[in-house]
């Protein structure tokens, strides 16, 4: 594939996949270390009905309605979890499981029962995403990267996920010391005046923002996989937090690039005629990287060893 084909057809989907993977992997490091890795899964379940309702009310797919819909769904989920826990007198984990699965099922049902076939919002797109459709129609080759007219035609998802990644990275950089202390020794962090509960809530909100921003472009499968697989694999490569974050970024980029390439060309190399879902292949590659790290990672035999801060 030459530049005249790669730039308009594959460059932007590949970049969006890489940026979404890194944006989810960065907060995922702290969620994994806090034993809250499944929060990424929970967020993906909860935000779906909020996004669908926001679209049905506004009739457009835009960043702010989606964010507000996802935030509203999160508030509803918190209220329902607390109500079920108190009225049913059951464990919080059981209450969360009931609410998350119910809200995700409600979102899928809304997608199936409403007319969303003419827009980029249906069950297939919500689950698997549609990276392949995020092409750059105005590009003619590598020279388009310097053409202001062509750059104006870039998919809006690229700018959205780039801004999200900058925000996520900025949050982690700004609160790096507080996040480290509260993750490994919350009691000591509180003695230093760090409001650990508020910081934990902020981390979850940042993760939710990354999930919602990536949800429209890449679907929930990549979101769930990238919150868990790159950070978990990175944990088995090093016992330092800085090293883990670095490894997780490398694994996220590697998963996105290899997954996108193998989704398009892997079936052709095997003699098949059709490509497979890029999002699904990216998630598969991230799982394979995690399996290899679990088998060959230098810190795999000391998984319980503390991370050096």
Cα separation, 188 vs 90, in Å, equals 31
Angle, helix 196-235 to helix 176-184, in steps of 10 degrees: 80
- C-alpha distances out from residue 78 to 15, 81, 83, 110, Å: 34, 5, 9, 21
pLDDT of 232 reads 93
pLDDT of 118 reads 53
Give the DSSP H or E segment for 206. Answer: helix 196-235
In the chain the first and final C-alpha atoms are separated, in Å, by: 45
DSSP character for 297?
-
Would you state the structure tokens that stand for residue 90, as one six-digit string? 């059951």
pLDDT of 305 reads 52
- C-alpha distances out from residue 116 to 110, 134, 151, 199, 264, Å: 9, 18, 29, 37, 27
pLDDT of 186 reads 82
pLDDT of 133 reads 76
pLDDT of 264 reads 81
Are 126 and 111 within 8 A, CB to CB? yes
Name which of 209, 160, 184 is nearest 33 in CA terms.
184
Cα separation, 149 vs 121, in Å, equals 28
Classify the C-alpha dihedral 35-163-205-39 as positive or negative.
Answer: negative
Name which of 50, 16, 1, 102 is nearest 212 in CA terms.
50
Are 139 and 124 within 8 A, CB to CB? no
- Maximum distance among all alpha carbons in the chain? 63
CA 62, distance to chain mean position in Å, is 18
10-residue averages of pLDDT along the chain (309 residues): 73 90 92 80 76 79 72 76 80 77 83 63 58 79 81 85 93 92 86 84 82 75 86 92 94 93 82 79 92 85 53
pLDDT of 170 reads 95
Domains of the chain with CATH codes: 3-133+152-296 (1.10.3470.10)
């Amino acid at each position: 594939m030459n530049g005249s084909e790669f730039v308009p057809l594959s460059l932007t989907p590949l970049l969006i996949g890489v940026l979404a993977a890194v944006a989810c992997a960065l907060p995922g490091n702290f969620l994994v270390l806090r034993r809250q890795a499944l929060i990424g899964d929970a967020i993906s379940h909860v935000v779906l009905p909020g996004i669908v309702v926001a679209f049905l009310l506004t009739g457009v797919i835009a960043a702010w309605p989606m964010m507000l819909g996802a935030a509203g769904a999160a508030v509803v989920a918190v209220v329902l979890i607390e109500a079920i826990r108190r009225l049913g007198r059951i464990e919080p984990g059981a209450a969360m499981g009931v609410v998350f699965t119910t809200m995700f099922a409600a979102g899928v049902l809304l997608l199936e029962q409403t007319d969303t076939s003419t827009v980029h919002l249906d069950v297939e797109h919500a689950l698997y995403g549609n990276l392949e459709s995020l092409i750059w129609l105005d590009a003619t080759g590598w020279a388009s990267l310097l053409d202001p007219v062509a750059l104006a035609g870039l998919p809006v998802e690229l700018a959205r996920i780039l801004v999200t990644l900058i925000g996520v990275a900025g949050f982690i950089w700004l609160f790096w010391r507080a996040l480290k202390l509260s993750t490994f020794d919350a009691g000591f962090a509180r003695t230093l005046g760090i409001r650990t509960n508020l910081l934990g809530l902020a981390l979850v909100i940042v993760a939710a923002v990354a999930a919602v921003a990536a949800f429209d472009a890449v679907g929930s499968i990549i979101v769930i996989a990238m919150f868990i697989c790159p950070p978990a694999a990175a944990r088995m490569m090093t016992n330092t937090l800085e090293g883990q974050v670095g490894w997780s970024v490398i694994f996220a980029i590697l998963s996105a690039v290899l997954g996108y390439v193998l989704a398009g060309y892997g079936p052709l190399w095997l003699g098949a005629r059709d490509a497979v879902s890029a999002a699904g292949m990216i998630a598969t590659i991230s799982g394979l990287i995690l399996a290899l790290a679990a088998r060959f990672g230098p810190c795999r035999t000391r998984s319980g060893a503390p991370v050096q801060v």
